[in-house]
Amino acid sequence: MNSADNQSRHLSVHIARTVDDVYAYASDPLNLPAWARGLGGSIKRVDDQWVAESSPMGRVVVTFVPRNELGVLDHEVTLPSGETAYNPVRVISDGTGSEVVFTLRRQPRMSDADFERDADTVAGDLNRLRELMESA
């Protein structure tokens, strides 16, 4: 196994809103299209699953951890191929505001260019979340 296959990158953004405010907004799947454009422009509940039909990867199923008191927003994205990507995300206290930390994990056989593209997408998503939260 290539050591690059185990590579992770922590991307974060400071948001001038409380942990409770950020977590309440970010943990609601219906808010994802507004800030997590990497998952596409819409998400809907289909049976017991959250489905993003128009993601750049095609139809994906997103499975979230249950809401919790710890600020954990972890989720799995199941791709059309059946592959599943696990995404650790945390909302943590940062002074009077909060910090959202997304751990981007390099997928097996992912090229350097694809990993950088994913990192740019996640950074853009986190910045949109900050802009939305701070303008509300």
Query: For each of the chain's 136 residues, which pLDDT tens digit applies?
Result: 444 557 899 999 999 999 999 999 999 999 999 999 878 788 999 998 999 887 777 788 999 999 999 999 999 999 889 999 899 999 999 999 999 999 999 988 889 999 999 999 999 999 999 999 999 8
SS3 108: coil
For strands 49-55 and 44-46, give the pairing: antiparallel
Task: List Cβ neighbours of 4 (8 Å cut-off, separation of 6 or more).
Answer: 106, 112
CB–CB of 12/122 below 8 Å?
A: no
Task: Give rounded-to-5 percent helix, strand, coil for the chain.
Answer: 35, 35, 30
